[in-house]
Amino acid sequence: MEKLQAALDKARKSREKETAVSDAVSVSPPPRKVARPTSLDAMWQNLSTFDVTDEQLLRHRVVTREATSAAAPFDILRTKVLLQMRQNGWTRLGITSPMPQSGKTTTACNLALGLGRQRDLRAILMDTDLRDPSVHEFFQTIPSHGIGELLSGQVGFEEQAVRIGDNVACSMAIQPESDPTRMLLAEETANVIARIEEEYKPDIMIFDLPSVLPRDDTRAFLKNVDCALIVIRANTTRYKQFDKCEREVSEHTNVLGVVLNAHMNTSDFMQDE
Ligand SMILES: Nc1ncnc2c1ncn2[C@@H]1O[C@H](COP(=O)(O)OP(=O)(O)OP(=O)(O)O)[C@@H](O)[C@H]1O
Ligand SMILES: [Mg+2]
């Protein structure tokens, strides 16, 4: 009897030891390799985020984060652009102008945040004005890597892009690029953009471009977009400049439309003598 009791005690002690070991294992599981998220939602959620105050946005005339009356003209533009692009199966929109300071970046940022209010859409805004980037100033955010590093393949979109809200990602610059035309023309740039589109499946990609007439930058890049909006500025853009720009753009892509910025009425558009 005593022998049996001793055997039972031994068996119990041995079970207790095993339990203690398995508890220890469950408390600190072996380190696992962190898997890259596979679902699209997880990929978007994994992008770093940034925020900007309404006051900062307003300072740059970005008014579309809320559905206010100030946002209405940009919301109309957003809806027209979306419908027309969908009808044609287009996803990439360039925003350009004949000459600088016409309102391209203002239009691009307002479109992007207006699209962000459409919860069922995903949008990507890229600051492809590599010579004189300004989206980071509009959004008061310096990314950890500039868009040049992304386009030249040195870093991935997941490291470079930053997200505002759930569904708008921005690739912004830190500083001007030293040879923007080369980068905008490069095959590597086209490949990087194609890869981002393939992986992140945005409904629309907006490219804030330089103006057409002063340099070759926009011409070099237009092959990468499905269509372009031309922004002209009332009281500033001359008709001849618009005409030349429209011809240039239409040689390389589809002209989606013309935005007359800062106008009180259409006679503000400068006619040449
Ligand atoms: N409708 C408007 N009314 C008054 N000012 C405006 C309007 N749209 C833009 N601006 C101002 O004009 C300036 C140029 O605008 P923005 O930077 O959007 O133009 P751009 O075409 O992107 O310029 P750049 O060629 O330098 O990239 C900014 O100070 C902006 O706040
Ligand atoms: Mg600009």
Which domains does the chain possess?
41-268 (3.40.50.300)
Residues 142 and 52 sit within 8 Å (Cβ to Cβ): no
Q: Looking at residue 12, what is its pLDDT?
A: 57
Mapped to the 3 state alphabet, what secondary structure does 80-138 carry? HHHHHHHHHCCCEEEEECCCCCCCHHHHHHHHHHHHHCCCCCCEEEEECCCCCCCHHHH
Residues 202 and 163 sit within 8 Å (Cβ to Cβ): no
Residue bearing the CA closest to ligand 1, atom 3? 262
Q: Specify the amino acid at residue 115.
A: L
14 SS3 class: helix
Q: Please report which ligand is nearest the Cα atom of 63.
A: 1
Q: Looking at residue 34, what is its pLDDT?
A: 52
263 lines ligand 1 (CB under 6 A): no
Averaged pLDDT in 10-residue chunks for the chain of 273 residues: 53 50 40 63 97 96 96 97 98 98 98 97 98 98 97 98 98 97 97 98 98 96 98 95 98 97 68 64
Q: How far is CA 89 from the centre of its chain?
A: 19
102 alpha carbon – ligand 2 mean position (Å): 8
Whole-angstrom distance, CA of residue 193 vs CA of residue 43: 16
Helices (H), the chain: 2-27, 40-45, 54-59, 72-88, 104-116, 135-138, 147-151, 157-160, 180-185, 187-200, 217-221, 239-252
Q: Looking at residue 29, what is its pLDDT?
A: 44
Residues 41 and 163 sit within 8 Å (Cβ to Cβ): no
Residue bearing the CA closest to ligand 1, atom 25? 100
Q: Looking at residue 263, what is its pLDDT?
A: 78
Q: Specify the amino acid at residue 47.
A: L
Whole-angstrom distance, CA of residue 256 vs CA of residue 249: 10
Q: How many CB atoms lie within 10 A of CB 47?
A: 18
Q: Looking at residue 118, what is its pLDDT?
A: 96
Q: Is beta strand 168-171 parallel, antiparallel or unpaired with respect to 162-164? A: antiparallel
